[in-house]
Structure 1
Amino acid sequence: MTHHTVEKIGGTSMSRYQDVLHNIWLRPYKHPTLGETLYQRVFVVSAYAGMTNGLLEHKKSGEPGVYALFAEMDENRPWQDKLQEVLNSMLAVNADLFADDTMMNKRADQFIQERIQDVHECLEHLEVVCSFGHFQLDDHLHRVREMLSALGEAHSAFNSVQLLRSQDVNARFIDLTNWRSDEQLSLDDHIAQAFSDVDLSTEMPIVTGYTQCREGLMRTFDRGYSEMTFSKIATITGAREAVIHKEYHLSTADPMMVGDGKVHPIGQTNYDVADQLANLGMEAIHPRAAAGLRKQNILLRIKNTFEPEHSGTVIHSDYCSSTPKVEIIAGTRNVWALEIFDQDMVGDPSYSQRMNDLVLESGVRVLTKDFNANTVTFYLKGNKRRINRLMERVQQAYQQADIRVEKLAMVSAIGSDMKITGLLQKAAGALSDAGVNIRSVHQAMRQVDIMFLVSDNDYASAVKALHSKLIEQSDTWPDQKTA
């Protein structure tokens, strides 16, 4: 293992380019043997905030982007206007970033305009090809999605290199998007080849978060592809530490909801806790991306871009809180409870096999599920259109069953060790005192999380109530700021 770091910068942070420049890129790295240096660091960058939403679809609202509009094959071709809209947003970023340098602004504009033009021509040609019966659009959509994703990261990475070079930093643009290449390598081979001649002692690689490869990153990881690129670079190059820069600390709860003065930054935790957060869609890191870091024992650190002096949160493989306690209150709204009741399932162990297959095929994400003698309930994340389609398919498969869907919210208490007598009772009491009705509760025997399903309207009240009772009023938290 060498002494370099591999660091990923999130999209919201990337949009604050001057903060990233001064708080991260121009802030010397304390190398174990070389002392302070700007080098010995690899940076994987995300697209600027909002760009990937425009290129694909909005991650939270589901508003269609270029990809979603193209997939509809509307004869009015609304994807063209959306693509121009994204380009205008990218050019606006360029104008702001390089306001004092006309030549750099022109170079940045030319780079992304050429890429957008390539995509525009490719999609037009694909429309023509798929107008023939021998070619089906669905066979090509995953490639379209990958191609569009590559635009955002290429834009931010290219700009970042120009910005750093203007500050006399020897930055190097490493474009893993495989743009206009006739060679297609595996993920590992593509990264290994890209870094084969990089001199980390004199160069600062700025790498696209998207990597084009034979496996197709988005088929498995979808919007988590940049974390997979980040993880693979760390493991293949043998980094000593992997760092993720976000716009906030990994804290005991969302400070915007609970109150900034009431939350504590988490100093240490483990990958098990990170997995529970990922299940809720609040990723410290994608679970599959974390697996490689764990196997090679590479330390993962989550840092706040805007507080560079803070050491951040260190995620270990073997960390366990010295005192059993709740470390984080987290959750998610817009959870769809799909409930299937059927008297015929009693005593039939194979009854739910087709049901599980239908949920898997639907493309929605399962947060958890519960069942008793005659009822199965799936708690799902996905847009309403997919949920409705899934409900129809389940009803067709189980025509005698009573099926209903209800929108709820999930709130979880999470910790590396929550083996605390009476914890469930205390948590339930806190929710009851706050007037929150518990619709369902889940606690596994490993006791690293407790999940409460509540009304969607009660989400904020539930988070505040659990944080107040289990963390703010806990004897294990007042005098310490780390887990």
Structure 2
Amino acid sequence: MTTTKSHTAEKIGGTSMSRSKELLDTVLIGDRSEDALYNRILVVSAYAGVTDSLLEHKKTGEPGVYTLFAGAEGGWIWGDALNAAAERMQTHNATVFAADDSARQTADRFVRERIEGVRSCMIDLARLCSFGHFQLEHHLLTVREMLCSLGEAQSAFNTVLLLNLHGVNARLIDLTGWREGVQHDLDECIRRAFADVDLSRELPIVTGYAQCTEALMRSYDRGYSEVTLSRVAVVTQASEAIIHKEFHLSSADPRIVGTGAVRVIGATNYDVADQLSNMGMEAIHPRAAKSLRQAGIPLRVRNAFEPDHEGTLIRADLAAQSAQVEIVTGLKNVFAFEFYDQNMVGVKGYDAEILEALTRHKVWILSKTSNANTITHFLKGSMKAIKRVESDLSKAYPNAEITLRKVALISAIGRNIADPTILARAIDALAKAEIAPLGVHALVRKVDLQVIIEEADFELAVTSLHRELIETRQLAATDCVSPLNAAA
């Protein structure tokens, strides 16, 4: 790899990728001079909705090609789903290249080649597994990896084609392993792909998915593109990693508290990013954050469509100048899984058995509390999976009482929230809103304050806590607010 100065490694999210024409005026080209176009590496996600159609819908669980193929009762219905996914991909092509029919045809040929190649593999695998010597479940992870690679390959190919049409020397870095016979670990894949890249003259467009020995889908599921970004940044020794989203990293969800109330977070640290990941607020995947933090590479989260705004800088060494809440966020559809057994007093092992069952059924643990005879986990996952956990534990501990309750969990997060008044103000704000907390977790390590409430109170609770812990404080100290913390 050749470069004459420091470079950045940047990722564009799927929703932003679906707005390719606007991206030309911001992230891709904008008002950059010819030299400023380069010394960047762009890692791209699949267009919005494409991976959902290839695997399953990320939020609703609606089956895609993979889910239908994995279900033996699905027969050949997965083929129809693959056709529908191909049509969706070609619709994106038509949007991106609406003004250039030749480019659209080139993009469609690329999609057809990849789709039909995958279809042939899946047909051959289905036939092979019709014999008792071969079991489909042994190959499903490979099928899942192969399918998810299609979306990133398309968006990367299209981005290169689009940039070339606008006079930019963009280059496709296809990490999907298409028709390659040998696998390497992720870092080696990146080193090989960038061996002859001249960053001062070329703009590499990298697929967010990479085929490697680590099996990214197995390890990181749908967070793989951020892991790819982090390793590209580390291996190529980037000066900064940047994630371009369709929104700012703000002090709360503007759809709940209002766009005029939220504040863009000017700077924070990786500790806060970890807490956000735990709450499902996608700043960055925790494994990706770990790679960047250990390498000493700062991460910037920017709004892809506000190129003049510096966004949020996340660094490992950034301590808070004063105790304050930076973000109020939360999750609905949380399950309080309460395990009560008086026989556990003084006995070890109960917690380990519960954790093992939750891990086995792939249930996400948000938080946990316990006392002498009760352990409560706050969980995010399907009711079906949690019921399986309940069934397993009921068999293992027949004398235990297990209860399941749907709640919401809100978290006030900051680099330092050790101000003793924060807890009191939070409780007072909820009381004024006539919200009675079901539970409060104020841990010794003061980086987050968690409140358990009824689901129906979620929006009001977020608004009330944001007003008291963030808006009120900043109104009282406007002369101390950085320009980066101005309203979005």
The Cα shift of 1:22 comes to 1.1
Q: Which residue of 2 aligns with 1:315?
A: 314
In 1, the alpha carbon distance for the partners of 2:207 and 2:27 equals 17
In 2, the alpha carbon distance for the partners of 1:404 and 1:180 equals 51
- Matched residue of 1:352: which SS? helix
The Cα shift of 1:477 comes to 5.5
In 2, the alpha carbon distance for the partners of 1:404 and 1:125 equals 46
- The aligned amino acid for 2:347 is D
The 3 A distance-change label for structure 1 pair 77 and 433 is farther
Q: Which residue of 2 aligns with 1:199?
A: 198
Q: Which residue of 1 aligns with 2:305?
A: 306
In 2, the alpha carbon distance for the partners of 1:241 and 1:393 equals 46
In 1, the alpha carbon distance for the partners of 2:115 and 2:148 equals 12
For 1:153-188, what per-residue CA distance to the aligned partner results, in whole angstroms no more than 9, with x for missing partners?
001000111100000100101100001110111111
Q: Which residue of 1 aligns with 2:27?
A: 24
Residues 1:266 and 2:265 aligned together: yes
Q: Which residue of 2 aligns with 1:389?
A: 388
Q: How does the TM-score come out when normalised to structure 1?
A: 0.96
Please list every run of 5 or more consecutive structure 1 residues that lacks an aligned counterpart in the other structure: none
Note the 1:71-470 alignment, pairs <5 A.
Answer: 71-470=70-469
Q: Which moved more, 1:469-478 or 1:285-294?
A: 469-478
Residues 1:4 and 2:7 aligned together: yes
In 1, the alpha carbon distance for the partners of 2:182 and 2:218 equals 20
The Cα shift of 1:269 comes to 0.3
- Matched residue of 1:473: which SS? helix
The Cα shift of 1:132 comes to 2.2
For 1:57-110, what per-residue CA distance to the aligned partner results, in whole angstroms no more than 9, with x for missing partners?
111112121112222122443322221111111111111111111111111001
10, 13, 16: which one aligns with 1:13: 16
- Matched residue of 1:212: which SS? coil
The Cα shift of 1:36 comes to 5.0
The 3 A distance-change label for structure 1 pair 85 and 435 is farther
The Cα shift of 1:292 comes to 1.7
The 8 Å contact of residues 329 and 463 in structure 1, kept in 2 or not, is answered as yes
In 2, the alpha carbon distance for the partners of 1:463 and 1:477 equals 22
In 2, the alpha carbon distance for the partners of 1:143 and 1:98 equals 32
Please list every run of 5 or more consecutive structure 2 residues that lacks an aligned counterpart in the other structure: none
The 3 A distance-change label for structure 1 pair 28 and 141 is same
Residues 1:52 and 2:35 aligned together: no
The 8 Å contact of residues 164 and 171 in structure 1, kept in 2 or not, is answered as yes
The Cα shift of 1:261 comes to 0.5
In 1, the alpha carbon distance for the partners of 2:18 and 2:148 equals 17
Residues 1:42 and 2:41 aligned together: yes
The 8 Å contact of residues 29 and 39 in structure 1, kept in 2 or not, is answered as no
- The aligned amino acid for 2:121 is C
The 8 Å contact of residues 68 and 74 in structure 2, kept in 1 or not, is answered as no
For 1:244-283, what per-residue CA distance to the aligned partner results, in whole angstroms no more than 9, with x for missing partners?
0001111110111110000110000000000000001112
Q: Which moved more, 1:195-204 or 1:363-372?
A: 363-372
The 3 A distance-change label for structure 1 pair 275 and 114 is same
Q: Which moved more, 1:414-423 or 1:227-236?
A: 414-423
- The aligned amino acid for 1:350 is G
- Matched residue of 1:367: which SS? strand
For 1:347-367, what per-residue CA distance to the aligned partner results, in whole angstroms no more than 9, with x for missing partners?
112222222111111111111
* Number of aligned residue pairs: 479
The 3 A distance-change label for structure 1 pair 477 and 155 is farther
- The aligned amino acid for 1:208 is T
Q: Which moved more, 1:170-179 or 1:93-102?
A: 93-102
The 3 A distance-change label for structure 1 pair 200 and 396 is same
The Cα shift of 1:346 comes to 1.3
- Matched residue of 1:205: which SS? strand
In 2, the alpha carbon distance for the partners of 1:297 and 1:441 equals 35
In 2, the alpha carbon distance for the partners of 1:130 and 1:280 equals 40
For 1:106-160, what per-residue CA distance to the aligned partner results, in whole angstroms no more than 9, with x for missing partners?
1100101111111112122222222222222221111111111101100100011
Q: Which moved more, 1:420-429 or 1:201-210?
A: 420-429
For 1:264-323, what per-residue CA distance to the aligned partner results, in whole angstroms no more than 9, with x for missing partners?
100000000000000011121111111121122112111001110001111111112212
The 8 Å contact of residues 273 and 448 in structure 1, kept in 2 or not, is answered as yes
The 8 Å contact of residues 69 and 75 in structure 2, kept in 1 or not, is answered as no
- The aligned amino acid for 1:406 is R
- The aligned amino acid for 1:17 is S
- Matched residue of 1:103: which SS? helix
The 8 Å contact of residues 471 and 477 in structure 1, kept in 2 or not, is answered as no
In 2, the alpha carbon distance for the partners of 1:53 and 1:440 equals 35
- The aligned amino acid for 1:5 is T
In 2, the alpha carbon distance for the partners of 1:464 and 1:396 equals 42
The Cα shift of 1:29 comes to 5.8
Alpha-carbon RMSD across the aligned residues, in angstroms, is 1.6
For 1:210-240, what per-residue CA distance to the aligned partner results, in whole angstroms no more than 9, with x for missing partners?
0000111111111110001000000000101
In 1, the alpha carbon distance for the partners of 2:253 and 2:326 equals 13
In 1, the alpha carbon distance for the partners of 2:35 and 2:131 equals 61
